[in-house]
Copies of this chain bind each other. A is one copy, B any other.
């Protein structure tokens, strides 16, 4: 027997300037012909999930009640949220669990009893009805914890490599490189033979990455950052930045240093700067301030927003299939995630929990366990 209702974490923007996150019992719909019902066992909190859950709301000024958080949003923040006022939005882009029921379709029926992962959204829920086609069956013996983050970070890492290849780049510079994604990228680039320069902002993050075999790690908080970076760029020839940060000085410093290396290699002066190709893809906004590009970078540069699923569309069906297969094959090795803390779904809006996971600190990743 399926339950009539199930516990779901939702986020709602209210006119007048607040976001309300709430744990609510909601009706569980019957699965359609090609749907499955997943008992969700594990779902990670990714930065993009925080974006949907709290957007730019001020957690410091939030009001906590059992199963509910109200947090104020500035007028500027509200402008960006105009499109979702009033809508009750389920949260949680990806997760893993066991299929406990299915529609009558053969593909859906074939998944009953299987442990699967999906990126269908709304996964911070005890149960979730999703299309069977959105599910990846996890290899026999894979835990829900190991399968919970099988899409966003792994596909992002593989997407960086595919993007690099599609533009003929020589190597990657990655910022906020000690993240779960960053660690995957270290292992993936090593396996693929792609030069990788890791930019971190703390000595212990540098140690962490060196510990898993990263060859080039530079610390943006070090007084020798620019010189260390210059040497790493010269050694590796890396020419393509994937930037998780956006605001602040790091991206600009990287581009300036790339241009400096390009000019030194060119020898002759040109008033327009070097012809060395400099590319940057901004895929995150750990710093929500404006992206700032200094003008000592010449005229041969491209800076773009980078978002996983639109990019996968662009790369085409063949590349997409290759990306998915690659992740499935190395899910518990190259693409393994680490979590600081596991938290039951029922406790995810507790004050101490919310205050901790909204800090977005490296190494502080949460895993939600909806069955506990």
- Could you tell me which A residues sit within 8 Å of B by CB distance? 48, 51-52, 55, 79-81, 83-84, 87, 246-247, 252, 263, 267-272, 275, 282-283, 285, 288-307, 310
Contact = CB atoms under 8 A, between A and B. Distances in A.
Nearest to A296: B80
A247 B288 CA distance: 19
B305 A84 contact: no
B305 A300 contact: yes
B299 A288 contact: no
This chain: how many copies in the complex? 2
B310 A306 contact: no
Nearest to A51: B271
A291 B292 contact: yes
Contact of A306 (B55, B293, B299): B299
Given A52-B271, A87-B269, A269-B84, A300 B310 contact: yes
B292 A298 contact: no
A290 B294 contact: yes
B299 A305 contact: yes
A300 B310 CA distance: 8
A298 B282 CA distance: 11
Nearest to A269: B83
A80 B256 CA distance: 11
A230 B252 CA distance: 30
Contact of A295 (B246, B268, B297, B302): B246
B247 A295 contact: yes
A67 to B, nearest CB: 23
Contact of A291 (B246, B295, B298): B295
Nearest to A293: B291
Nearest to A292: B290
